[in-house]
Amino acid sequence: MDPGLGLAGNGTSQVSPMAQQSAATATFPVVDQTKWADATGFLKAACDDLGVGELIHGENFSLFEAMSALEIMDPKMDAGMNTTGYKTVEEAVESGAAPIFLTISQIIDVMDHLLACEATWHKGHSLAQTVFSCLYMLKLDRTTPNALLHAYCKITRATCSLVRTAIVLSDIHEEEDFVTFGFGLPLDAEGDNKCLATLNAVEESLARQLRGCKGAASGKKKSTEEVEPLQDDPELEEDFCESVLCRLRFRKSLYHALVYMEKPLGRGSEMAQKHITRALTELAAVRASSGFLSARRPLKDPVESTCTASGQPAVGFDESVNRRLLAPTPPRSIDILSWNETLNYFEQLLNDLNRICSLSSDLELEDLLQYIVDFQKSQPDLVARARLQLLLLQDGKLLGRETVTDSLYRAIKLQNERPARDTETYNFLTQCGRLTMQLIRTMCTNPAWQRRKLGRVIQEWGLLLEQAEFSRETSFRKSGVGGQLEKTGWTDDVVMGWAAELLCWVVTHFLLLGFELELYSPNEYCMVYWYLDHALMTLMHYKLAKERRRLEAELVKSNDTSPESAKKKGKKKKGGTIKPVVNKEIRFTPSVLLLQCYINLCKGFIWMLAALTADRKIIHRETIFNTELERFTQRFELLHKIVVPEPMTYLDFREATRHRHQSVKELYQVAYDHFMSAQQHIQELSQAVSKTPKMESVIKAQRVVDIRQMEQVALRNRIALQIAHQAGPGENLRVTFEFSLHPCFAVAVVKKP
C-alpha cells in the first residue's frame, strides 16, 4: 500500500504518466470469476481532496490498517500486531465469548473483574485495555435482557465518565499518570445521567428477595410477592442476595459522592460525605463476601493475583479486542490489579475523598498550602488529587468564593478595599495571585512532577521579588521623605515580607521533597541539611517578623483612643488608662514550633555527621564521576538565582562545616544537645496542637504523626551518638542512615563492621 494514500502532506503523491499508461493497458487476472477494476484515478482524486495533515478514517481503514501495511525489518518488532484472539467485538460476540444470560456467580465475577479493571485504569493504564476490555461495556445495549448486568455496567460507565471529566478539567496529570484518550470508545453515552433509575429498580427487586429469604429463615409467613430466585439452592439465596446488593449499593454510593462533589462552592460536600460513609460500609460488606464466594468454588491451585472474589476468571473479557484503538502508543501487556489490591485502592480513594469534603471553606492561604502538603503525605492517587484541585480553584477563585488577589489581601492583613492610588501594590499582588494559583495547581500533582514544576515556580517568584524591590527603590528615590512615604514603605514591607516568606516556604518544601523522592546520596546529606537549615532559619525570620507586626498593630489599636470615643464610653476611671503592650511575648504558633523542630533536627544531623566523620565512623570517598563542589552546584544552582533565601556558596558550606577548633567529644555533645532541644520543642508542639481547637482535621492528624515520628528520630539518634562515642575512635563501628521513621530525617544505624 502506498503510504501517501492515507495521509496527505506537503508532498502529495503523484502518479507518473508512465504509471497511468501502464495502468490503462494493464490486464487483471480473473480468479473465481472475480472482476477487478482500476482504482488509480479514484485514489488520486481522494488524495488531492485531502488537506495537509488529514487522515482517512473509515470503518475498514484507520491508522492501524495503514501501519499494518508496512513491515520494517523483523515482523516481531511490530508491537501488539499479534493476530491471535478476536479482531472485532462482533466476532467475539458471535463466537459466544459474552453470553447475556449468566448464572449469579458469573455475574458477580463480571462485577468484580470490572471493578478491578476500573482501579487499574485509575492507576494509569489505557481505558481500552481495562474497563473496555469488557465485551459487555462495548455493546451495552445487548445486556438489556439481563437487568442486573445492564444496570451495573451502565453505572460503571457513568462513573468512569465523571472521573475522566474531573481529571481532564484539573489538568494535573502526566501521560504516565492517566490516559485520557477515549479511542472512540462509548464512554459518554446519552441516558447515563438516568442510570440510577435502572439501578434502583434492580436494587428494590433484590432487597425484596432478601427480605423474603430472611422471613423464610425466621419462620415468618412467606411474602405474597413472587420474586424469581437468583439460583436454585434456597440455603444460599440469602448470601448471594447480600453479595450482589452490597456491590450495587457501593457503586450507587460512589456515583452519588462524585456527583455531589461537582457542585460549586462545596455545597455538596456534606451530602458527599454521607454517601462516602455509606460506600465504605458497603465496601466492607463486599470484602466480607469474599469468603463465601471463594468457598463456593474453591480452586485447586489458588492464586493471590485473581481479580474476582471467588478466584474464578470472569467471562466476557478480552484484553486484545481493542488493540486497533490503542494509538498513539502501541498496545502492551498489563496486569490487572488483584481483588485485594482493588478493595484497598477504593478504600483509600474513599478516605481521601472524605478528607477533601471535610475541608473548611474559611482557611487562610498559609493553612491551605499546609493542608495540601499534609494531604499529599498519604500518597493519594490522581482521582483524589484532581477532585482537591477542582475544589480549591473554581472559576479562577480560591474555593470558588473570592479571587486569589483578594485572598492575598486578607492573608497579609491589608484592608479589604484595594488602594485606589497604590497601583504598584495592586499590580504586585495580582502577579502574586497568578503565581499562587500556579503553586496550588502544582502542589496537587504527583511528587516527582511537583518537584520539577516547583523549580519553575521558585524562579518566577524570585524574578517577581527582584522586580518589586527595584520598583520600590525607584519610587523611594522619586518621592522623597514624608508621611506618605512612611506609610507606603510599611505597606511594601508587609507585602514584600509576605512574598519572601512564601518563597522561603516553597524552597524548604522543594528541598524536603528531594528526601521523599530519594534523590540525595549519603555523600550529599550534610550539604542538603545545611542548606535546608539556612532556608528554615530565613523562613522563621519572616514568620517572627510578621508576628511582631501583628503585635505592634494590636499595640497601636489599644492606644488609639480618640476624645469622641471616650465621650461615648463615658469618663475614664482613675488609673484606667490603657497600658502599652510592650513586654508582650511573641506567640509561637504550631507552624512556628514545627519549623523550630525541623531546624533542631537539621543542626543535629550536621553536627552528628561532623562528629562521626572526625571519629572515623563514616568515611567519605570521592566518586570518580563528580566532586563535592560539582554536587553542591548541581543541587543548589537553582537556589542561587533567587534573592531569598540569600544564596549560599560552596565556600560558605565548607567554612560552616569545617569545625577546626572543636574536639570529637565536643562535636558529639553539640549534636546530642541539638537532638535534645528538638525533643523539647516537639513536646511544646504537641501541647500547642492539642490547644488549637480550630486546626483543620487533616493538618492536626498529620501533626500528630509528625510529632511521633520526630520524637523517634531524635531519640534514636541520641542513642546512636552515645554508642558511637563510647566505642572510641577508629573504624570499630559502621554507621549508616535510613529513613524508616521519617521520610525526610534519617536515623543513624550503628553496626559492627
Rg of the chain taking only CA atoms, in angstroms: 34
DSSP, residue by residue, 4-70:
GGTB--SS-----HHHHHHHHT-----STT------HHHHHHHHHHS-TT-B--BTTBSHHHHHHT-
- Report the pLDDT value the prediction gives residue 579, as an integer from 0 to 100: 45
Which residues, 6+ apart, have CB-to-CB distance to 660 below 8 Å? Answer: none
- Report the pLDDT value the prediction gives residue 476, as an integer from 0 to 100: 65
- Report the pLDDT value the prediction gives residue 711, as an integer from 0 to 100: 97
- Report the pLDDT value the prediction gives residue 3, as an integer from 0 to 100: 37
All three cell numbers of 518, joined, read 530519594
Mean pLDDT across the stretch 683-698? Answer: 91
Report whether pLDDT(170) > 90: yes
- Report the pLDDT value the prediction gives residue 70, as an integer from 0 to 100: 61
**H-type alpha helices, 412-482:** 423-443, 447-479
Instruction: Say how far apart CA 266 and CA 257 lie, in whole Å.
Output: 12
Which residues, 6+ apart, have CB-to-CB distance to 539 below 8 Å? Answer: 501, 504, 505, 508, 595, 645
Mean pLDDT across the stretch 13-40? Answer: 56
The torsion angles phi and psi of 510, rounded to 5 degrees, stand at: -60, -45
Inter-residue contact 364 to 694 (CB < 8 Å): no
Percent of the chain with pLDDT over 70: 80
- What's the half-sphere exposure (Cβ side, CA atoms, 13 Å) at 740? 9
Report whether pLDDT(29) > 60: no
CA 124 to chain centre: 12
Instruction: Say how far apart CA 200 and CA 67 lie, in whole Å.
Output: 46
Mapped onto helix, strand or coil, the DSSP state of residue 416 is: coil
pLDDT class of 126 with cuts at 50, 70, 90? confident
Report whether pLDDT(595) > 50: yes
All three cell numbers of 141, joined, read 445495549
Q: What is the mean pLDDT of the chain?
A: 84
- Report the pLDDT value the prediction gives residue 4, as an integer from 0 to 100: 34
Instruction: Say how far apart CA 48 and CA 59 lie, in whole Å.
Output: 21
> For 186-230, what is each residue's pLDDT tens digit?
888 766 677 889 999 999 999 998 888 876 666 555 554 556 778
Range of 109-123, 294-308, 352-366, 650-664 with top mean pLDDT: 109-123
Percent of the chain with pLDDT over 90: 55
* Cα–Cα distances in angstroms (integers) from residue 519 to residues 256, 525, 532, in the given order: 41, 10, 15
Range of 297-311, 393-407, 549-563 with top mean pLDDT: 393-407
- Report the pLDDT value the prediction gives residue 88, as an integer from 0 to 100: 84
Mapped onto helix, strand or coil, the DSSP state of residue 393 is: strand
Mapped onto helix, strand or coil, the DSSP state of residue 180 is: coil
- Report the pLDDT value the prediction gives residue 322, as an integer from 0 to 100: 82
Mean pLDDT across the stretch 286-300? Answer: 83
Mean pLDDT across the stretch 674-693? Answer: 95
All three cell numbers of 463, joined, read 524574578
Instruction: Say how far apart CA 383 and CA 178 lie, in whole Å.
Output: 9
Between 506 and 53, name the one with better pLDDT.
506
One-letter identity of residue 182:
G
Inter-residue contact 604 to 674 (CB < 8 Å): yes
- Report the pLDDT value the prediction gives residue 696, as an integer from 0 to 100: 87
> For 110-120, what is each residue's pLDDT tens digit?
999 999 999 99
> For 128-169, what is each residue's pLDDT tens digit?
889 999 999 999 999 999 999 999 999 999 999 999 999 999
**H-type alpha helices, 615-736:** 628-636, 650-656, 664-690, 697-726
| Element counts in the chain: helices (H) and strands (E) | 24, 5
Residues 237, 239, 242, 247: what is their CA dihedral angle, to the nearest 10 degrees? -110
- The CA angle 86-90-96, to the nearest 5 degrees, is 75
Inter-residue contact 234 to 367 (CB < 8 Å): no
Instruction: Say how far apart CA 553 and CA 540 lie, in whole Å.
Output: 20
Instruction: Say how far apart CA 528 and CA 542 lie, in whole Å.
Output: 21
Q: Which of 15-29, 143-157, 335-349, 523-537 has the lowest mean pLDDT?
A: 15-29
Range of 24-28, 282-286, 321-325, 396-400 with top mean pLDDT: 282-286
Q: Which of 106-115, 233-242, 459-468, 557-566 has the lowest mean pLDDT?
A: 557-566
DSSP 314: P
Report whether pLDDT(256) > 60: yes
- What's the half-sphere exposure (Cβ side, CA atoms, 13 Å) at 468? 29
